[in-house]
Structures are given as structure tokens and as C-alpha cells.
Structure 1
Amino acid sequence: MTGLGEDVPQTAGAIWRRTVPVWAGLTALLVATLSLAYVPMGRFGIVVSLGIAAAKAGLVVVFFMQLRKPDPLLRLTAFASLIFVAFLLTIIFAEVLTRAPPTRPGTVMPRSAPDMPGLGQRAF
């Protein structure tokens, strides 16, 4: 007995009893997301949306990725992937913050749609 859940009976009823409440929670969070999309909340809209998204991600991680089991390799893999995503987001934000402003002299901007030339011609 290693504590990884091998001794848990895997009957259809046990599987349904574990997954239906998680599905109901995810569905409730989906309904909350859809209904709050039409509520004018100003600056707090993004905060509420990200909170709901974090709750959904937490449910998926804990129940469907089975991170509540004490398997150290599974938790290490999840932690490594989280670090990797944080690294990628850091690179993306650093790249966006170091871009030249579009009004700087010498910046090439595409023309608007009505002024676009015909096929085979340069758009800049």
C-alpha cells in the first residue's frame, strides 16, 4: 500500500461519485463566467474573471490531474510545468515592454484597409 490510490475500488459508481461534483462545480463556474460577462463591473471585471479561471484551473489540477495524491514525481512535474509557463510569460512581457512605440520615426506601419493596393503590390 503506497497511498497512491491503488487500493481504492474503481467501480463505476465510485468514479461517478468523484467526477460528477467536480463537473457540477465546473459547470457552475462556467455559468458564473457567462453571467458576469454581461454585468458592468469596471476594473473589477478582470479580477473576477481571473479568479473564476483560477478556481476552474484548481479544480482540474486537483481532481483530473490527480495532484491530491502524494506522488512526488507527479507534483514535481506539475511544479516544473508551472515554472516553465511563468518563464514563458516573463519573456513575453519583457518583449512587449521593450518594443518601440509605433509613433517613433522610422517605424513602418501598414496602411489602412481602404488604401491597400491591389494584388501583387507592396503594402508598405
Structure 2
Amino acid sequence: MSGHSDRNGGDSNSAHYAHVVPLSVLLTVFVALMILTFLTVAATWFDMGRWNVWIALIIATVKASLVVLYFMHLRYDHPFNAVVFLSALLTLLLFISLALLDSTTYQPDIRALQESVRNAGS
């Protein structure tokens, strides 16, 4: 028996086809990733208060999604794999949201510590 057939007698390679993405699409995604990387760096130049972390996370999520969709070919894969990816993304968003819920609770303590360090250095 050939090593290329599955238990049911079919060819195991028949259901898997590589999807060739046009170079123009890959270059467009690459340019988008470079722009988003610049936006990530540019976001550090401005203090947006409590939105700093959220903006960085949103940009990182968009970049990761582009990589997964185009460079890892999820866009051209079975829809179930997209459901699994989105479920994982939503679960990650839930965990990060829960972790950031109390991030403002400690801000007065952090500011007091920073002020005492500044006063001690003067």
C-alpha cells in the first residue's frame, strides 16, 4: 500500500492546496504593517492618558490580524479556522479587559511615589 493514501483509500494530499497570494497583496500588507508600526511609535509621542494602553493594544491587534490573515493564509483557509481565531482573539480581549479594569486604582499611589522620588532628587 502506498504511503500517500489514507485509511479510506483516498489520496491524503487531494484536499490540501496551497494558495498563492499575489505579490501586490503581500506588498500592500507589508506597507500597512510598516505604517502601523510607525503609528505605534508615534503614539508614544503623545500622552493620551488612560487611552495609551488601549491604542497600543488596538494597533497591535490589527497588525497581528494582518499577519495571520495574509502571511499565515487564514483569509483563504476554511471558515472554521477563522472562527477559532476570532474566538481566541475575543478571549484574549476579555482577559486583557479584566486585567486592565483595576489599572486606574493604583494611579494615585504611583503618582505619589513619583512625586516623592522627584522631591528626594531635588
Report the TM-score when normalising by structure 2: 0.50
Counterpart for residue 15 of structure 1: 22
- The amino acid of 1:50's aligned partner reads L
Q: Which residue, out of 25, 29, 37, partners 2:36?
A: 29
Equivalent residue runs for 1:75-86 within 5 Å: 75=82, 78=85
Indicate the percent of aligned positions where both proteins have the same amino acid.
Answer: 26
2:23 is matched by which residue type in structure 1?
A: W
The one-letter code matched in structure 2 to 1:20 is L
Post-superposition Cα deviations, 1:47-101, rounded to whole Å, max 9, x if no partner, equal: 1111101111111111112111242574476478769978xx69xx7xxxxxxxx
Contact 1:61 1:67 in 2 (8 A): yes
Backbone CA RMSD of aligned residues:
3.5
Judged with a 3 Å threshold, the aligned counterparts in structure 2 of structure 1 residues 27 and 73 are, in CA distance, closer, same or farther, namely same
Q: Which runs of 5+ in 1 are unaligned?
A: 94-124
Aligned residues: 85
Match of 2:75 among 68, 88, 100: 68
- Secondary structure (helix, strand or coil) at the match of 2:75 reads coil
Pair 1:44 & 2:51 matched: yes
TM-score (norm 1): 0.49
Unaligned runs of 5+ in 2: 1-14, 100-122
Contact 1:5 1:69 in 2 (8 A): no
Which protein, 1 or 2, shows the higher relative CO under an 8 Å CA cutoff with sep ≥ 6?
Answer: 1
Query: How many Å separate the matches in 2 of 1:7 and 1:84?
Result: 29
Give the distance between the partners of 1:7 and 1:64, measured in 2 at CA: 12
Matched residues in 2 for 1:52 and 1:45: separation? 11
The structure with the greater share of residues assigned to helix is 2
- In the TM superposition, structure 1's runs of 4+ consecutive aligned residues that sit over 4 Å from their partners are 4-8, 72-86
